[in-house]
Amino acid sequence: MYSKKVMDHYEHPRNVGQIVGADGVGKVGNPVCGDIMKIYLKIKDNVIVDVKFKTFGCGAAIATSSISTELVKGKTIEEALDITNKRVVDELDGLPPAKMHCSVLAEEAIKAAIADYYTKKGMSKEDIDKVCSLKNTVCVHSHDIGQE
């Protein structure tokens, strides 16, 4: 089902926790769907110097959160915004079709945290939306499409 890489990440998730006084916090997902990701960023001179996450969700949700924190750590904000869900999936050596939405959630969580950082900086909502291109994640699993 899951790749070795996914299993390694849900068994030993990296950067679990929270950052008190974080510069940006993103929270996406919905308890009704069974997935919530929360990402904390510490940003210095446009660089993500620290990152932590908390996730309520399945193994894939934990693994995508974990790998995403690794991917953004030490990166500039622009670099972090470039990380797509596809990149997350590739880094994990693939995800089952039914779990693709978790990678989307991870991408969104990073963007939401950066948006929060921009908001705190006083950027307007429209400008943030332009930069972060935030979608609204909804309860849509891709199981049935993927399986047939």
Partner 1 sequence: MKIKYFDHAATTKLNEDVLKEMLPYLTEEYGNPSSIYSLGRSNKKAIEDAREKVAKVFNADAKEIYFTGSGSESDNTAIKGVAYANRKKGNHIITTKIEHPAVLDTCKSLEKDGFEVTYLNVDSEGLVDLEELKNAITDKTILITIMFANNEIGTIQPIEEIGKIAKQHKIYFHTDAVQAVGNIDIDVNKLNIDLLSLSAHKFYGPKGVGALYVRKTVRFNKFIDGGHQERNKRAGTENVAGIVGLSKAIEMAYEKLDENNRHLKELRDLYISEIEEKIPYVKLNGHREKRLPGNANISFKFIEGESLLLNLDIKGICASSGSACTSGSLDPSHVLLAIGLIHEVAHGSLRVTFGIENTKEDVIELITELEEIVNRLREMSPLYEDFVDGTYTM
* Residues at the interface with partner 1 (CB under 8 A): 1, 7, 10-11, 13, 16-18, 27, 31-38, 53-59, 61-62, 98, 139-141, 143-144, 147-148
Relative orientation angle of helices 100-120 and 125-132, to the nearest 10 degrees? 140
In the complex with partner 1, the residue whose CB is nearer, 45 or 138, is: 138
Phi, psi of 83 (to 5 degrees): -75, 115
* Catalytic residue status for 102: yes
> Where would I find the H helices in 4-147?
4-11, 59-72, 77-81, 85-91, 100-120, 125-132, 143-147
Minimum distance of partner 1 from residue 78's CB (angstroms)? 27
In the complex with partner 1, the residue whose CB is nearer, 24 or 57, is: 57
Phi, psi of 93 (to 5 degrees): 60, 40
Minimum distance of partner 1 from residue 136's CB (angstroms)? 17
In the complex with partner 1, the residue whose CB is nearer, 1 or 49, is: 1
* Catalytic residue status for 58: no
Pairing state between β 47-56 and 35-44? antiparallel
Q: Give the residue numbers annotated as catalytic, written as ranges.
A: 33, 102
